[in-house]
Amino acid sequence: MTSRINTRGQVGKVLANKTGGLKIQNENLARPPLPGKAAASSFLRDTTNKVLGLKRKADGAPDEEKATKKRSAFGDITNAIEKKINDGKKVTAQKGRLMRSASTKSLVKPLSKPAAAKDKVPAKTAKPEVSAPEVKTQAKEISFCDSLPSSQDTIFSSQESKTDLDDSAAYVTASEGSPVKDVVEKAPVVEQEPVSKLPEGVEDYDKEMENDPFAVSLYAQDIFEYYKGRESNFVIDKYIDRQPDVSRSMRAILIDWMVEVQESFELNHETLYLAVKIIDLYLAKTVIKRDVLQLVGSTAMFIACKFDERTPPYVDDFLYICDDAYKRKELIEMEIKILKVIGFDLGIPLSYRFLRRYARCAKVSMEDLTLTRYILEMSLMDYELLDASDSALAAAALLLTRIIRGDSTWTPTLQYYSGYSMEDIYHLVHHLHQMISQPPKEHLKTIRNKYSHKVFFEVAKIPIPETLNI
């Protein structure tokens, strides 16, 4: 292993030193108090502005430097309404224009024209006589907009009624005046097929959560069935034999370092699981050198952050955690390569998402859920579980947790929502049990130390039974 992956332990310390040195100097920003009359004048001006709702100009700004106009997130979408202060009332822009036009007419006198000009009609403006065939050709050339009735004649009878009516009065819905409306109302009611009942002993979790809009209980079961159907698109074969410069232990060290990065940046757990999937999908199709392995790991985390995080870290942050072993151009080029190899498809089914679904439907306690998360996160470093189904792996980890807690039953609720019986995940349960029963290795302690903290209920310290009673 090269020295680039050996920089794992410096991540948290260096980040703390980097952020700890940032201090905002606000001493020079304070202005001295105004003396005497100036202070009284400033107080009176501020009080007046608060009452009238006005904003004063920035203090100390030169007259030639005008403050830029503040815009909303989508810019100036409309200028239909203009806010003005007029005895405490808002005046619309349309009424303002009417008032200004009326006042202008009273002040400006029209120019007087000679009387002879009224009787004379210029030759250019006189309408020529049109024969019948020409009328037909002109009727064909009339546009659709010209054939529509005038809005002033059909909707508004006068200018006064146009200004007084509300905007909703001129809005016509799709159903109003439609000839299809009567047909739809008289259509016979089709009886819906009765919804299939759940098996006996299964709790209807989605029925209980139908009033919670965040649970999307109407679509939840279909969503996870869709996830299970997509698992066949992301089957990863064991590729280490095709990688002459990468070994199993190097992959485990890389994932252990990625867990440390996830903790340092406080990323979601889905981001970590997705990044590991991206690495395996890329390495299964591309042969790399040893010195590029950490670049592949950091770039996979960068891509997963873009997909799952609300505020993903910057490119410089990922270069920093690699101890500046790579350049910005190298990381961006690696991002393009990885996305091309995996086909730009990041909607990968993750075992962590399946675990959340199973635990909610079975109403698993937080301690048991955390223990299952610990088992599932340890499985990320196990190369032998590379080709295992994520939905089955989540079910096996949850069953192993129940066995460790002294309850070896696989309830009908868990069997229904996971889609697996105890016989289907029997071999995975034994493999996971053997994995967590092994003593921790000296260079792979990040996950165990993480789940030994009180925040995670110290589940890594729970004694594991030597044999399983199943």
Tokens encoding 200: 């006996």
What are the residues whose beta carbons fall under 8 Å from the beta carbon of 278, sequence distance 6 or more?
Answer: 300, 303, 304, 338, 342, 346, 348
Tokens encoding 387: 């080709």
Please indicate whether residue 229 or residue 184 has the higher confidence score (pLDDT).
Answer: 229
Q: What CA–CA distance (Å, rounded) separates 399 from 371?
A: 11
User: Which phi and psi (to 5°) does residue 403 adopt?
Assistant: -70, -40
Q: What CA–CA distance (Å, rounded) separates 209 from 215?
A: 6
Q: Answer yes or no: is pLDDT of 366 > 60.
A: yes
DSSP 374-442: HHHHHGGG-GGGTTS-HHHHHHHHHHHHHHHTT-----HHHHHHH---TTTTHHHHHHHHHHHHSPPPT
Please indicate whether residue 253 or residue 3 has the higher confidence score (pLDDT).
Answer: 253
DSSP 225-253: HHHHHHGGGG-----GGG-TT--HHHHHH
Q: Which domains does the chain have, with CATH numbers?
A: 243-341 (1.10.472.10), 351-461 (1.10.472.10)
Q: What CA–CA distance (Å, rounded) separates 418 from 72?
A: 47
Q: What is the pLDDT of residues 406-418, one digit of tens each?
A: 998 999 999 999 9
pTM of the model: 0.61
Q: What is the pLDDT of residues 232-271, one digit of tens each?
A: 999 999 999 999 999 999 999 999 999 999 999 999 999 9
Q: What is the pLDDT of residues 427-457, one digit of tens each?
A: 999 999 999 999 988 889 999 999 999 999 9
DSSP 42-71: HHHHHHHHHHHT--PPPTT--TTSPPPPP-
Q: What is the pLDDT of residues 47-93, one digit of tens each?
A: 555 555 554 444 444 444 444 444 333 333 344 444 444 444 444 44
